[in-house]
A = this chain, B = another copy of it.
Amino acid sequence: MDQERLLRELSEFLRIPSVSTLPAHNQDCRAAAEWVAAELRRLGCRDVEFLGSDTHPVVSGKGPDVPGAPTLIIYGHYDVQPPDPLAEWTNPPFEPTIRDGKIYGRGAADDKGQVFCLLKAIAASPRPPINFRFLIEGEEEYGSKVLFDLLKREPQRVRADAVLVADMSYVAPAWPAVYTTLRGLCYAEITVRTSKTDLHSGEYGGAAPNAHEELGRLLTRLKGEDGKINIPGFYAPVKRPSKAELAAWKKLPFTEKDFLQKRVQGKALVGLKKYSVLERLWALPTFEIHGILGGFTGEGAKTVIPAEATAKVSMRLVPNQKLATVERQLAAAVQRLAPKYVTA
């Protein structure tokens, strides 16, 4: 295959504005799915199917049977994020443009580019002794509901020896990375209740407990200023990476300064200071607050003392941390750290 043809085909894929979150682009999402399906057929796949949705189907395909060979699932997605704000783009988002030897366009790096490379790499190579399975979805940027529903209904779709997810980051420019594992997730809602109904701050302020205040206090107890998660037993199963891994990470073109300035774009990094930033990001569990509900959050002013407040939180889990155990540990810690007069 010559480069020109590959670029032409990739550009064709990138030009489809398959924005999954915007219903106006439903037909574009379908078109991107058709594009993927045609490529799978060209690869010699059997059973190329559109599953779970007419407009945002999961494109499923099976490569030629190789008896006795291991099975590899290739996962990717053909949908993209909305391109706003348009004024920030150097080239129009759906008109892929090459500058300095790089192709720019919505989806080029997430995830059409990767899907394209994998399909073309398989096509270009001598037939590898692998049973390929493809699951290329169209709602990754929109919560993957179609895919999750499909896997709940047909779990055998992911029965395999390995899964290749080509939807990750480079460690640094020109430094591609193989992610061998990702942290797992424990998502939870913590609700604090302080009285039967919301109260008026003019009549009750100063003596009635405030659910937001108690929740804030509980959350700052659950995770201290030093970044330590105060859940008994939480860190017990956590193993440090091997010396070889830690040494390899040190050689990566990663600096905390660059990470802070170019990626986080904040004023400082936080977390457990005695571990390197990469270890904090890749090998340690986390506790994050995502949103807080309750009380009054509309326009303008309302002086209610909220009777109930809920925090959406999640913990990233590392190998050996079991979800069920962590859930139990979190519930116990919340009980222990919440004031006696609070229902949590």
Contacts and interface: CB of A to CB of B under 8 A. Distances in A.
A243 interface: no
Contacts of A225: 217
A314 B341 CA distance: 23
Interface string A254-275: 0000010001111111111000
B208 A266 contact: yes
Interface in A275-316: 277, 280-281, 284-286, 288-298, 300-307, 309, 311-312, 314, 316
A258 to B, nearest CB: 13
A342 B269 contact: no
Q: Counting chain B CB atoms within 10 Å of each CB, which of A187, A281, A289, A316 scores highest?
A: A289
Interface string A194-228: 11110101111111111011011101100101010
Interface string A305-344: 1110101101010000000000000000000000111110
Interface residues of A, number: 77
Given A185-B303, A187-B301, A265-B195, A312 B286 contact: no
A53 interface: no
A339 to B, nearest CB: 8
A319 to B, nearest CB: 15
Contacts of A194: 266-267
Interface of A: 143, 169, 182-183, 185, 187, 194-197, 199, 201-210, 212-213, 215-217, 219-220, 223, 225, 227, 259, 263-272, 277, 280-281, 284-286, 288-298, 300-307, 309, 311-312, 314, 316, 339-343
- 4 A-B pairs closest in CB distance: A268-B341, A196-B265, A195-B266, A205-B286
